[in-house]
Copies of this chain bind each other. A is one copy, B any other.
Amino acid sequence: MKPLRIAIIGYGKIARDQHVPAIQANARFALAATVSSKPEPHPGIPSFGTHREMLAAMHDLDAVAICTPPSVRYDIGRDCLLAGKHVLLEKPPAATLGEVEELARVAAARDATLFTTWHAQHAAAVADAARLLAGQKIAAMKIAWREDVRKWHPGQQWIWEPGGFGVFDPGINALSIASHIVPGALFVRDAELLYPENRQTPIAARLNLASPIASGAIEVAFDWRHQAGEMWRIDIRTADGLELRLSEGGAKLTLDGDPVDASGSGEYQSIYNHFVDLIDERRSHVDIEPLRLAAEAFLLGRRTIVEPFVDRVQDV
Protein backbone atom coordinates (compact mmCIF):
# COMPACT_ATOMS: atom_id res chain seq x y z
CA MET A 1 0.00 0.00 0.00
CA LYS A 2 1.35 3.41 -0.96
CA PRO A 3 2.29 5.33 2.20
CA LEU A 4 0.38 8.45 3.18
CA ARG A 5 2.53 11.50 2.41
CA ILE A 6 2.46 13.71 5.48
CA ALA A 7 3.95 17.12 6.26
CA ILE A 8 4.77 18.55 9.67
CA ILE A 9 3.76 22.19 10.05
CA GLY A 10 5.58 23.91 12.93
CA TYR A 11 8.92 22.22 13.44
CA GLY A 12 9.67 22.82 17.13
CA LYS A 13 10.54 20.64 20.08
CA ILE A 14 7.42 18.44 20.04
CA ALA A 15 7.73 17.85 16.28
CA ARG A 16 11.38 16.77 16.53
CA ASP A 17 11.04 14.78 19.76
CA GLN A 18 7.76 12.99 19.08
CA HIS A 19 6.16 13.41 15.66
CA VAL A 20 9.18 12.64 13.45
CA PRO A 21 10.11 9.38 15.25
CA ALA A 22 6.45 8.24 15.32
CA ILE A 23 5.98 8.99 11.61
CA GLN A 24 9.28 7.32 10.67
CA ALA A 25 8.37 4.22 12.72
CA ASN A 26 4.98 3.87 11.00
CA ALA A 27 5.12 2.10 7.61
CA ARG A 28 1.84 3.71 6.56
CA PHE A 29 3.37 7.21 6.57
CA ALA A 30 6.13 8.91 4.64
CA LEU A 31 7.41 12.26 5.91
CA ALA A 32 7.12 14.42 2.80
CA ALA A 33 7.77 18.00 3.88
CA THR A 34 8.14 20.40 6.77
CA VAL A 35 6.99 23.98 7.27
CA SER A 36 9.28 26.03 9.44
CA SER A 37 10.84 29.44 9.69
CA LYS A 38 14.25 27.71 9.87
CA PRO A 39 15.96 26.64 6.59
CA GLU A 40 15.93 22.85 6.00
CA PRO A 41 15.00 21.84 9.53
CA HIS A 42 14.85 18.15 8.61
CA PRO A 43 17.68 16.92 6.30
CA GLY A 44 16.65 15.54 2.95
CA ILE A 45 13.01 16.64 3.14
CA PRO A 46 11.58 19.68 1.29
CA SER A 47 11.06 22.63 3.62
CA PHE A 48 8.72 25.59 3.19
CA GLY A 49 8.42 28.90 4.99
CA THR A 50 4.61 28.83 5.10
CA HIS A 51 1.90 26.23 4.80
CA ARG A 52 0.44 28.09 1.82
CA GLU A 53 3.71 27.81 -0.12
CA MET A 54 3.74 24.12 0.65
CA LEU A 55 0.11 23.56 -0.41
CA ALA A 56 0.80 25.45 -3.65
CA ALA A 57 3.96 23.44 -4.40
CA MET A 58 3.05 19.91 -3.27
CA HIS A 59 -0.03 18.44 -4.87
CA ASP A 60 0.57 14.85 -3.80
CA LEU A 61 0.39 15.50 -0.06
CA ASP A 62 -2.21 13.43 1.83
CA ALA A 63 -2.04 14.76 5.36
CA VAL A 64 -0.51 17.32 7.70
CA ALA A 65 0.39 17.33 11.41
CA ILE A 66 0.06 20.82 12.88
CA CYS A 67 2.51 21.42 15.74
CA THR A 68 2.59 25.23 15.80
CA PRO A 69 1.53 27.23 18.86
CA PRO A 70 -2.28 26.95 19.25
CA SER A 71 -3.15 30.50 18.22
CA VAL A 72 -2.40 29.88 14.51
CA ARG A 73 -3.69 26.30 14.22
CA TYR A 74 -7.18 27.26 13.08
CA ASP A 75 -6.11 29.28 10.02
CA ILE A 76 -3.57 26.66 8.98
CA GLY A 77 -5.92 23.76 9.63
CA ARG A 78 -8.72 25.39 7.67
CA ASP A 79 -6.50 26.01 4.64
CA CYS A 80 -5.26 22.42 4.73
CA LEU A 81 -8.76 20.93 5.08
CA LEU A 82 -10.04 23.13 2.26
CA ALA A 83 -7.15 21.77 0.15
CA GLY A 84 -8.45 18.28 0.92
CA LYS A 85 -5.70 17.22 3.34
CA HIS A 86 -6.31 15.11 6.42
CA VAL A 87 -5.35 17.12 9.49
CA LEU A 88 -3.83 16.03 12.80
CA LEU A 89 -3.70 18.73 15.46
CA GLU A 90 -1.31 18.78 18.41
CA LYS A 91 -2.96 19.64 21.70
CA PRO A 92 -4.73 21.93 22.39
CA PRO A 93 -6.32 21.67 18.95
CA ALA A 94 -6.88 25.43 18.54
CA ALA A 95 -7.17 28.63 20.49
CA THR A 96 -10.90 28.30 21.17
CA LEU A 97 -13.77 25.84 21.20
CA GLY A 98 -15.45 27.66 18.35
CA GLU A 99 -12.40 27.29 16.13
CA VAL A 100 -12.35 23.52 16.69
CA GLU A 101 -16.06 23.23 15.98
CA GLU A 102 -15.64 25.18 12.74
CA LEU A 103 -12.70 22.98 11.66
CA ALA A 104 -14.90 19.94 12.30
CA ARG A 105 -17.58 21.42 10.02
CA VAL A 106 -15.03 22.09 7.26
CA ALA A 107 -13.61 18.57 7.57
CA ALA A 108 -17.08 17.06 7.29
CA ALA A 109 -17.89 19.21 4.26
CA ARG A 110 -14.63 18.16 2.52
CA ASP A 111 -14.82 14.49 3.52
CA ALA A 112 -11.40 14.89 5.14
CA THR A 113 -10.25 13.47 8.47
CA LEU A 114 -9.75 15.84 11.42
CA PHE A 115 -8.02 14.38 14.48
CA THR A 116 -7.74 16.49 17.62
CA THR A 117 -5.00 14.61 19.40
CA TRP A 118 -4.57 14.78 23.16
CA HIS A 119 -1.34 12.88 23.55
CA ALA A 120 -1.82 12.12 27.25
CA GLN A 121 -4.98 10.16 26.40
CA HIS A 122 -2.68 7.80 24.48
CA ALA A 123 -0.27 7.22 27.38
CA ALA A 124 0.29 3.50 27.92
CA ALA A 125 -2.04 2.87 30.90
CA VAL A 126 -4.86 5.34 30.24
CA ALA A 127 -7.05 2.90 28.30
CA ASP A 128 -6.62 0.39 31.14
CA ALA A 129 -7.77 2.95 33.70
CA ALA A 130 -10.79 3.79 31.53
CA ARG A 131 -11.74 0.11 31.34
CA LEU A 132 -11.47 -0.32 35.12
CA LEU A 133 -13.61 2.77 35.73
CA ALA A 134 -16.36 1.97 33.21
CA GLY A 135 -19.71 1.94 34.98
CA GLN A 136 -18.18 2.96 38.33
CA LYS A 137 -19.10 5.89 40.57
CA ILE A 138 -16.33 7.99 42.06
CA ALA A 139 -15.96 8.55 45.80
CA ALA A 140 -12.78 10.64 45.65
CA MET A 141 -10.43 11.88 42.97
CA LYS A 142 -7.30 14.02 43.07
CA ILE A 143 -5.18 15.27 40.23
CA ALA A 144 -1.66 16.59 40.88
CA TRP A 145 0.35 17.89 37.93
CA ARG A 146 3.60 19.47 39.15
CA GLU A 147 6.61 20.31 37.08
CA ASP A 148 9.36 22.82 36.45
CA VAL A 149 8.35 25.24 33.72
CA ARG A 150 11.96 26.21 33.03
CA LYS A 151 12.84 22.60 32.24
CA TRP A 152 9.87 21.86 29.97
CA HIS A 153 9.36 25.22 28.27
CA PRO A 154 12.83 26.71 28.00
CA GLY A 155 12.51 30.19 26.53
CA GLN A 156 8.98 29.60 25.16
CA GLN A 157 7.47 33.04 25.61
CA TRP A 158 4.12 32.27 23.93
CA ILE A 159 3.01 30.22 26.95
CA TRP A 160 2.95 33.45 28.98
CA GLU A 161 1.07 35.50 26.40
CA PRO A 162 -2.76 35.79 26.34
CA GLY A 163 -4.11 32.53 24.94
CA GLY A 164 -0.85 30.75 25.80
CA PHE A 165 -2.56 28.70 28.51
CA GLY A 166 0.24 29.02 31.11
CA VAL A 167 0.21 26.06 33.50
CA PHE A 168 -2.84 24.77 31.63
CA ASP A 169 -0.47 23.81 28.82
CA PRO A 170 0.62 20.74 30.84
CA GLY A 171 -2.53 20.80 32.97
CA ILE A 172 -4.78 20.26 29.99
CA ASN A 173 -3.05 16.88 29.60
CA ALA A 174 -4.43 15.92 33.00
CA LEU A 175 -7.86 17.26 32.02
CA SER A 176 -7.70 15.25 28.79
CA ILE A 177 -7.04 12.05 30.78
CA ALA A 178 -9.72 12.86 33.35
CA SER A 179 -12.41 13.59 30.77
CA HIS A 180 -11.44 10.36 28.97
CA ILE A 181 -11.49 7.98 31.95
CA VAL A 182 -14.27 9.43 34.14
CA PRO A 183 -17.45 7.68 32.98
CA GLY A 184 -19.66 10.75 33.23
CA ALA A 185 -19.75 14.48 32.55
CA LEU A 186 -17.11 16.73 34.14
CA PHE A 187 -17.28 20.43 34.73
CA VAL A 188 -15.49 23.12 36.68
CA ARG A 189 -17.17 24.22 39.90
CA ASP A 190 -14.61 26.78 41.03
CA ALA A 191 -11.02 27.61 40.40
CA GLU A 192 -8.16 29.72 41.64
CA LEU A 193 -5.61 30.90 39.09
CA LEU A 194 -2.23 32.17 40.30
CA TYR A 195 -0.77 34.76 37.94
CA PRO A 196 2.81 36.00 38.26
CA GLU A 197 2.49 39.77 38.42
CA ASN A 198 4.52 40.14 35.21
CA ARG A 199 2.67 37.49 33.17
CA GLN A 200 -0.64 37.08 31.34
CA THR A 201 -1.18 33.37 32.07
CA PRO A 202 -1.23 31.42 35.35
CA ILE A 203 1.81 29.64 36.79
CA ALA A 204 -0.38 27.51 39.06
CA ALA A 205 -4.05 26.66 39.44
CA ARG A 206 -6.37 24.86 41.79
CA LEU A 207 -9.67 23.58 40.42
CA ASN A 208 -12.65 21.83 41.88
CA LEU A 209 -14.40 19.74 39.27
CA ALA A 210 -17.82 18.18 39.65
CA SER A 211 -19.44 15.20 37.99
CA PRO A 212 -22.90 13.65 38.32
CA ILE A 213 -21.12 10.32 38.96
CA ALA A 214 -18.81 11.69 41.68
CA SER A 215 -20.06 12.10 45.24
CA GLY A 216 -17.56 14.81 46.16
CA ALA A 217 -15.36 17.41 44.55
CA ILE A 218 -12.59 16.33 42.21
CA GLU A 219 -9.55 18.27 43.39
CA VAL A 220 -7.06 19.44 40.81
CA ALA A 221 -3.69 21.09 41.46
CA PHE A 222 -1.48 22.32 38.63
CA ASP A 223 1.85 23.87 39.57
CA TRP A 224 4.74 24.92 37.37
CA ARG A 225 7.01 25.86 40.28
CA HIS A 226 8.36 22.39 41.20
CA GLN A 227 12.03 21.91 40.42
CA ALA A 228 12.07 18.96 42.81
CA GLY A 229 9.14 16.61 43.24
CA GLU A 230 7.79 16.66 39.70
CA MET A 231 4.61 14.61 39.51
CA TRP A 232 1.86 13.86 36.97
CA ARG A 233 -0.54 11.76 38.98
CA ILE A 234 -4.26 10.98 39.23
CA ASP A 235 -5.64 9.13 42.27
CA ILE A 236 -9.16 7.75 42.19
CA ARG A 237 -11.22 5.86 44.76
CA THR A 238 -14.45 4.38 43.42
CA ALA A 239 -17.67 4.02 45.37
CA ASP A 240 -16.99 0.26 45.33
CA GLY A 241 -13.66 0.85 47.07
CA LEU A 242 -11.26 0.35 44.14
CA GLU A 243 -8.11 2.47 44.46
CA LEU A 244 -6.53 3.49 41.14
CA ARG A 245 -3.37 5.52 40.71
CA LEU A 246 -2.29 6.72 37.28
CA SER A 247 1.24 8.12 37.46
CA GLU A 248 3.94 9.39 35.11
CA GLY A 249 1.31 11.20 33.08
CA GLY A 250 -0.73 8.07 32.43
CA ALA A 251 2.16 5.72 31.62
CA LYS A 252 1.81 3.68 34.84
CA LEU A 253 -1.21 2.35 36.71
CA THR A 254 -1.70 0.64 40.04
CA LEU A 255 -4.93 -0.98 41.28
CA ASP A 256 -5.22 -1.24 45.06
CA GLY A 257 -1.47 -0.66 45.21
CA ASP A 258 -0.51 -3.40 42.73
CA PRO A 259 0.98 -2.55 39.34
CA VAL A 260 -1.23 -3.18 36.32
CA ASP A 261 0.51 -4.12 33.06
CA ALA A 262 -0.13 -1.25 30.67
CA SER A 263 -1.72 -2.36 27.41
CA GLY A 264 -0.92 0.75 25.36
CA SER A 265 1.89 1.21 22.87
CA GLY A 266 2.86 4.72 24.00
CA GLU A 267 1.59 8.16 23.13
CA TYR A 268 2.69 9.10 19.62
CA GLN A 269 2.86 5.58 18.22
CA SER A 270 -0.76 5.14 19.31
CA ILE A 271 -1.73 8.57 17.91
CA TYR A 272 -0.37 7.82 14.44
CA ASN A 273 -1.89 4.33 14.41
CA HIS A 274 -5.25 5.91 15.21
CA PHE A 275 -4.75 8.58 12.53
CA VAL A 276 -4.28 5.81 9.94
CA ASP A 277 -7.48 4.10 11.09
CA LEU A 278 -9.43 7.37 10.90
CA ILE A 279 -8.14 8.13 7.39
CA ASP A 280 -8.85 4.58 6.20
CA GLU A 281 -12.38 4.83 7.56
CA ARG A 282 -12.86 8.45 6.40
CA ARG A 283 -13.82 9.48 9.92
CA SER A 284 -12.89 12.37 12.18
CA HIS A 285 -12.15 12.26 15.90
CA VAL A 286 -12.91 15.60 17.52
CA ASP A 287 -12.73 15.97 21.30
CA ILE A 288 -13.22 19.45 22.76
CA GLU A 289 -13.82 18.44 26.37
CA PRO A 290 -10.32 19.23 27.75
CA LEU A 291 -10.39 22.66 26.09
CA ARG A 292 -13.90 23.27 27.44
CA LEU A 293 -12.71 22.52 30.98
CA ALA A 294 -9.75 24.87 30.60
CA ALA A 295 -12.00 27.64 29.26
CA GLU A 296 -14.40 27.13 32.18
CA ALA A 297 -11.53 27.51 34.65
CA PHE A 298 -10.58 30.84 33.07
CA LEU A 299 -14.24 31.96 32.99
CA LEU A 300 -14.82 31.14 36.68
CA GLY A 301 -11.40 31.39 38.22
CA ARG A 302 -10.49 33.67 41.07
CA ARG A 303 -7.33 35.53 40.04
CA THR A 304 -4.57 35.75 42.61
CA ILE A 305 -1.36 37.64 41.84
CA VAL A 306 1.89 35.98 42.89
CA GLU A 307 5.59 36.89 42.62
CA PRO A 308 7.00 37.70 39.18
CA PHE A 309 8.31 34.85 37.06
CA VAL A 310 11.76 35.37 35.60
CA ASP A 311 12.76 32.98 32.83
CA ARG A 312 16.49 32.37 33.08
CA VAL A 313 16.94 31.90 29.35
CA GLN A 314 15.10 34.95 28.08
CA ASP A 315 14.91 37.46 30.83
CA VAL A 316 18.26 37.48 32.62
Residues of A bordering B, CB below 8 Å: 78, 95-99, 101-102, 105, 162-163, 185-191, 195, 200, 212, 292-296, 298-303
Q: Which B residues touch A95, using CB under 8 A?
A: 189, 296, 299-300
A200 interface neighbour in B96, B298, B302, Cβ under 8 Å = B302
User: Contact at B298–A96, with CB atoms within 8 Å?
Assistant: no
Whether the pair B298, A187 counts as a contact (CB closer than 8 A) is: no
CB pair A102–B187 under 8 Å, yes or no, is yes
B300 & A162 in contact (Cβ 8 Å cutoff): yes
Contact assessment for A99 and B187 in the assembled complex, using a CB-CB cutoff below 8 Å? yes
Q: Which of A78, A188, A295 has the most CB of B within 10 A?
A: A295
Contact residues in B for A302 (Cβ distance below 8 Å): 162, 200
**Of B98, B101, B212, B295, which one neighbours A298 at CB under 8 angstroms?**
B295
Knowing A98-B186, A292-B97, say if A300 contacts B105 (CB, 8 Å): no
Provide the bound-state CA to CA distance between A97 and B101, in Å: 14
CB-CB < 8 A to A97: which residues of B?
97, 187, 292, 295-296
Of the candidates B163, B187, B303, which one forms a contact with A96 in the assembled complex, judged by CB atoms under 8 Å apart? B187
**Taking each of A95, A98, A188, A293, which has the highest tally of chain B beta carbons within 10 Å of its own beta carbon?**
A98
A101-B185, A303-B303 given; name 16 further pairs at CB < 8 Å: A78-B212, A96-B187, A97-B97, A97-B295, A98-B185, A98-B188, A98-B293, A102-B185, A102-B187, A163-B190, A200-B302, A295-B295, A295-B296, A298-B298, A298-B299, A299-B299
For A99, A187, A301, A303, which residue has the most chain B Cβ atoms within 10 angstroms?
Answer: A187
The CA of A299 and the CA of B94, in the complex, are separated in Å by 12
Residues of chain B with a CB closer than 8 A to A295's CB: 97, 292, 295-296, 298-299
In the A-B complex, the 4 residue pairs with the closest CB atoms: A98-B187, A162-B302, A295-B295, A96-B296
Q: How far is the CB of A21 from chain B (nearest CB, A)?
A: 32
Q: Closest approach, in angstroms, between the C-beta of A147 and any C-beta of chain B?
A: 21
Question: Which residues from chain B contact A200 at a C-beta distance below 8 Å?
Answer: 302-303
| Chain B residue, CB-CB nearest to A209 | B98
Once the chains are docked, how many angstroms separate the CA of A296 from the CA of B191? 16
Give 6 A-B contacts (CB < 8 Å), ordered by A residue: A95-B296, A96-B299, A162-B190, A162-B302, A163-B300, A200-B302
The smallest C-beta distance from A78 to any residue of chain B, in angstroms, reads 8
Is there contact, CB below 8 Å, between A98 and B300?
A: no
Given contacts A190-B162, A299-B294, A299-B299, contact A185 B105 (CB under 8 A): yes
Shortest Cβ distance from residue A180 to the other chain B in the assembled complex, whole angstroms: 15
Tell me the minimal C-beta distance from A41 to chain B in angstroms.
28
Q: Is the CB of A292 within 8 A of B162?
A: no
Residue of B nearest to A289 (CB): B98
The residues of B that contact A96 with a CB separation of less than 8 Å are 187-188, 296, 299-300
A205 CA to B141 CA in the complex, in Å? 36
Distance between Cα atoms of A283 and B189 in the complex (Å):
28
